[in-house]
Structure 1
Amino acid sequence: MLFEEVGIVNGASLNVGNVDGKSFASVTMSTVQEVEKAIKKFNGYVLNGKLLTVSREKPEPRRAYNAHFLISVSNLPKDVDSGRLEEIFSKYGSVYDVQTDYNEQLDESTGSLTMTNEYQMINAIAALDGQSLDGKVIRLFVETLEIKSKMFE
């Protein structure tokens, strides 16, 4: 939660009291600029009486995965366009490829959008599924998951 002060946290892990008695944390931010902000703000910061040392991790050869989560939204009010849908979801993270479609027979719109961060997608679905939007209860589900990988050198 501390690092959310400087940007979007894509993930975090904590190793408490390792061999030398010190704790170690790894925080993944969504942009390089946010990493730099975190280093500038929190290196030398005192948290619960402990001095933090914050630095950039040295990259190691590893396999990276790029996941794309396509979220479908049903039962949208007919006046909700892609701009409004993006605005609603962007509170939870980065949103791409937003589309809406109006069905005259059902008098409703459906939408779809892509998020690349699973944590953000889960939070968006948890917060928005079943909520009322302009008097209509919207429904969300993850339609597909594409995973591409590449080797970093």
Structure 2
Amino acid sequence: MNLENKELSELFKLADKIGKKRYHKLTSQDFENYRKFDYWRYVNGDAECGTTEESKEWVRDNSDWYCPICGDKYSERDGKNIDHKLPRSQYPWLSIEFKNLWVICRICNLEKSDMHWYEYEHYIFVKYPDLYPAVKAARPGKLLQSLRL
């Protein structure tokens, strides 16, 4: 499935179709794994995210001093959070996929909320066009292509 040449309206339809289809396929093992993972990625709201040494180490290894969206220092944007590019609320089976995670500032995370990735891209394109190239570059292409209808 080639997603690069599709219009945002087509991508929204595809996202809705896929996001509303997979819940029935979750197993009890999926939920057990999710609970373990959710503990791991828990964000305590302080300037440093993660409650375990493992999650703090992952954040250090997967971020620097600046938010990849707004480009501001985390310390100037209320700290940093571990975020799911494809939201847990729509894609719980991807919540334990490390390729679905990134570290962004707390303010950008609150603004992104539970938007689907393409909805978020469209939002950024309209509201903050100067930030759009960074968001588009962070698109989780392989994850999006892995979604099966």
Report the TM range for the smaller structure's normalisation. under 0.3
TM (norm. structure 2) is 0.27
Higher helix share: 2
Larger radius of gyration: 1
**With structure 1 as the length reference, what TM-score do the two structures score?**
0.27
Larger relative strand fraction: 1
